[in-house]
Structure 1
Amino acid sequence: MIAFKHVSKIYPNGIHGLHNINLHIGEGEFVVIVGLSGAGKSTFLQSINRLHEISEGEIFINNKSITKAKGNELYRIRRDIGMIFQNFNLVHRSTVMRNVLSGRVGYHSTLRMILGLFPKKDKQLAMEALRRVNIPEKASMRADQLSGGQQQRVSIARALAQEPKLILADEPVASLDPMMTGQVMDDLLRINQELNMTMVVNLHDIEIARKYANRIIGLKAGKVVFDGKADEATDEAFAEIYGKTDKTSERMGMEQYERIENTANG
């Protein structure tokens, strides 16, 4: 599904955002990328769909090089990649349905989209996407009338309406309270399992990563320092990712995880 081959990203100031990354992410995996701020998580994620241009190496999506792709080929590859952002990236004054339908822009002409001429099939896809995240009743509401968690669910539905082959989520729960964090992560996991949809998710919280991922990749200073199954992500492994003296992040992660569990259990 995704292959990194000797991928590096070097910023103009000489700092390595990514350093010689070599790995493969298979179809249907739920992969969580963890690491401290500045470890390279967002650079890693956004290089997959070329929101970040890499400096060296090559990235393949379904055996096609997105690194070398241009024009219509790049457009078609990107159409298969759904993206979910921390800040939702919704048009707040538009309806939920219109925001979800924006996931269909890659399939129609610019003029058709400006005029809002979405075919019936697109509207059915959008409504089904809203059902998958449990908010079909919000379709006619304005996006800015929703809570943060509901807005993130709209952004997930928008990605689904795109009919992607994989979804990238960059800190999708960082701005949400514990209850909504659990609900949004449950949505992503259910989509992964029911649709066999490949998920690559950036998270700060190590306990949430352990709960939801089937594979965890740890980055430190742009390098992969851990790559294994969630049950292999021991405290020692996380000490390597976060630093042996950094216990605050681990404790805060455990506290947030316990709040989510307590809320879910009533």
Structure 2
Amino acid sequence: MIQFVNVSKVYGNGTVGLKNIHLHIKKGEFVVIVGLSGAGKSTLLRSINRLHEITEGEIFIDGKSITAAKGKELRMMRRNIGMIFQNFNLVKRSTVLRNVLSGRVGYHSTLRTIFGFPKKDIELAFQALERVNILEKAYSRADQLSGGQQQRVAIARALAQEAKIILADEPVASLDPLTTHQVMDDLKRINRELGITTVVNLHFIDLAREYATRIIGLRAGEVVFDGPVEEATDEVFAEIYGRPIAKEELLGVKG
């Protein structure tokens, strides 16, 4: 599904973001990437849809190189990749429905979206909102919603997009403990029921252990652990973080 072949990223100031990454993420996996701030988690995640361009190597999606893709081919590949951001990335003054429909933009010309979306798209948007249990908020403005509700809108947008892959970059970092688990439950349920390959960056170890089927640990841009959640012991996390794990990192938002 997603394959990294000798991928490296060096920023303009000389900072190494990724170093010789070799990974193969299978269809339907729920992968959690962990590591300290600056370890390369966001760089790795955002390189999958080319929000970050890599310096060396190649990334394949379903056997096709997204690294080499241009123009229409790149747009078509990106259409299959939904992105969920820490800060929700919604148009706050637009309705929830309109935000979800933005996931359909890649299927139409700009002129078509100006004059409204087809009935099929609107039905898809309503179905997506129902799946994340906020259908009743369809006509509310996004800025009237709580943080957790806004993140659910972002998930619904990816569903309306009919994404085959969902990338989530610290999706619960700004949420309270209860809402954190609601959002993570949504992502896990969607992964399980729809078979959507899901790759999530998380800071808290307990969440990684609870939701992941596979954990990838990054340290200074390199993969230092890649395995099933059962093998991710406290000793493994200490190696990923380069030091003993603090209680608040281990317990995370559950406290």
The count of corresponding residues between Structure 1 and Structure 2 is 255
SS of the aligned residue for 2:218 comes to strand
SS of the aligned residue for 2:157 comes to helix
What is the TM-score when the length of structure 1 is the normalising length?
A: 0.94
Structure-2 separation of matches of 1:255 and 1:205: 7
1:218 maps to what in 2? Answer: 217
2:249 maps to what in 1? Answer: 253
Residue 257 (structure 1) shift = 4.8
What is the TM-score when the length of structure 2 is the normalising length?
A: 0.98
1:138 maps to what in 2? Answer: 137
1:263 maps to what in 2? Answer: none
Matches within 5 A, 1:160-179: 160-179=159-178
Structure-1 separation of matches of 2:146 and 2:184: 16
Q: What is the RMSD of the two structures over their aligned residues, measured on CA atoms?
A: 0.9
Aligned partners of 1:6 and 1:57 also within 8 Å: yes
Unaligned runs of 5+ in 2: none
2:35 is the alignment partner of 1:35: yes
SS of the aligned residue for 2:59 comes to strand
1:229 counterpart letter in structure 2: P
SS of the aligned residue for 1:167 comes to strand
Residue 244 (structure 1) shift = 2.1
1:264 maps to what in 2? Answer: none
1:105 maps to what in 2? Answer: 105
2:86 maps to what in 1? Answer: 86
Matches within 5 A, 1:199-214: 199-214=198-213
Q: Deviations over 1:12-66 (max 9, x none)?
A: 2222100000010000000000000000000000000000000000000000000
Structure-2 separation of matches of 1:63 and 1:242: 32
Aligned partners of 1:208 and 1:253 also within 8 Å: no
Q: Deviations over 1:69-95 (max 9, x none)?
A: 000000100000000000001011110
1:45 maps to what in 2? Answer: 45
Structure-1 separation of matches of 2:216 and 2:251: 22
Structure-2 separation of matches of 1:169 and 1:228: 19
Matches within 5 A, 1:50-129: 50-115=50-115, 117-129=116-128
1:237 maps to what in 2? Answer: 236
Structure-2 separation of matches of 1:255 and 1:20: 31
Structure-2 separation of matches of 1:121 and 1:214: 34
Structure-2 separation of matches of 1:132 and 1:253: 31
